[in-house]
Structure 1
Amino acid sequence: MTTTFPAPASINQSTNRFRVERLTCSLGAEVHDTDLGEVSRDDALFAQLRELLVQHKVLFFRDQHLTRAEHVALARRFGPLEDHPVAPSDPDHPGLVRIYKDRTSPAEHFENSFHCDATWRANPPFGSVLRCVESPGVGGDTIWVNMVEAYRRLPDDVKRRIDGLRARHSIEASFGARIPTEARHSLHERYPDAEHPVVRTHPDTGEKILFVNSFTTHFVNYHTDDNVRFGADYAPGAGDLLRYLISQAAIPEYQVRWRWTENSIAIWDNRCTQHYAVQDYWPGVRKMERAGIVGEPTF
């Protein structure tokens, strides 16, 4: 079978102040010779950065010696920051979430599954600015996935089947699964399941996005006369379809993989990507700090 991807204009590009190296045909670019601390203070530079983010979906930077205040200031350029109900924030910088991992760390942070951050929120995050504070000697890469491309390459009959479908996303079924029952119920009360379209439209580009991930539990409007003749059409039929859609994130042709080094940074558009933090670095230590940006409704 012959496969095609949108033709890139070039492997490298330059803007007024940024030198950009594309990393794959699908998504991802490394930005060189840039001081993100300066970008956090300059309107024109930030505007260029945001355009690059929408274009490449995830941007990577090395040797960025940002203070925590500059990290937060850069992320706030995109919008207000949000806390996380499970991962702690830096006490002096609310919204700067610590993701510190070693052998004693709990495993319930669900980094090592393909996911789109916090789709259990009614308004999932716009994106994140993630900085590596301490990297393991080897391992600990993160993979990002272009979910626009994942939708574009679906078979036409699958696109027809999922047109108009909506799905439920749950924190209770993911982060809540390991905690005691009462605490899980309390978590669900604070963050009730969110409902999103299976195919989301990007608010900046108009692109269609396959918008299901490991937080997605089930379709909410599948059980109609068009889809279900007998119970077997719904169970396991709907579940099989959802699992197939979620599995698209694992296709390498839609991915870019980043090797972390200390003071490297990734900025990604959470609306159209998924990511997977590979936990293959024990007994190494991996310490990350993330500023997540409040998003908009998915409609």
Structure 2
Amino acid sequence: MSTAVSPSERSYIITGLAHPTHPTRLDGRGLHQSRPIFISYGDAPQASGSARVTLGGTEVLAGIRLEVSEQGESSRCRVEVDVTPQAYPTLAPSALTAMSTQLSSVVSDHFVPSIPSLPIVPQIKYFVPHLHLTLLSNSGNVLTTLILAARAAFHDLRVPKTKVISSGAADDVDEQKDLSGIKAAVRAGRSGGRGKGRGTSGVEWELDLEGDGTMPMPGRETLPVLVTLNLIPDSTTVFLDAGLQEETACPDRLHVFFDAGGKVCGMRMEGEAGLDVDRIRPLLKEAQGVSVELFASLSQIATS
């Protein structure tokens, strides 16, 4: 949901954006110019991985905790998005809940499938990430900021090292208690000592405490990015990183998820406008070019 804009304001915004030779925006940016992206890591010390991302005035805090899956349970990452009243002061609690559910679904459908599994004992037991995203403030382009924050939190994630030590009979009660202790330590993002666990298959494992006992998540650099192309009414021109008033004036947008190789791994249309194949193809090519630049920028931020 966007901010209120009068008909005259809407006309002014669209006219400026659609100008054939000198397009203008309310904040003076070019059509393909994004607001600065700021990323900080480790903002939630008790999490296994966390980050805070600010895009303009839109701010998201992301945290990940790891739990141990039991045999037969899904190892797929679980997502929860929390839209705070500060982000949408005029929305009723029920509307905030509905928006949180919708955003959780989008992240789960288009971002989560790219997260690699984190096996403890392959095919038997896994670490399961629980991703929590909190939208603290909103000045437009919320979905892009959520994906940036999710990606940054996984970049910060430290996965406990484990090793299989035997595949004998079931453990005694004391070792089962140790397993509960390991789960608690993993939830807190740290391990307080040497622990053991056993799956229902009888395979025994323990934490590998070599070094700090953790490692980065494999494949974190290849997690997808989101490029949002905002469509200008009655124009073939698009623009990036819409502010709140621009989102209201131009409610149709194409969200495209790209992996590190430039391959589309998800696409979502928002608004009432329809796009035929002939229009989508050049838009995807344009979005792909933006994704390449975004991957390069995020890589620089991560290593700085």
Higher CA-based Rg? 2
If asked which structure has higher relative contact order (CA below 8 Å, sep 6+), I would say: 1
Which has more helix, going by share of residues?
A: 2
Shorter-chain TM-score bucket reads: under 0.3
TM-score by length of 2: 0.27
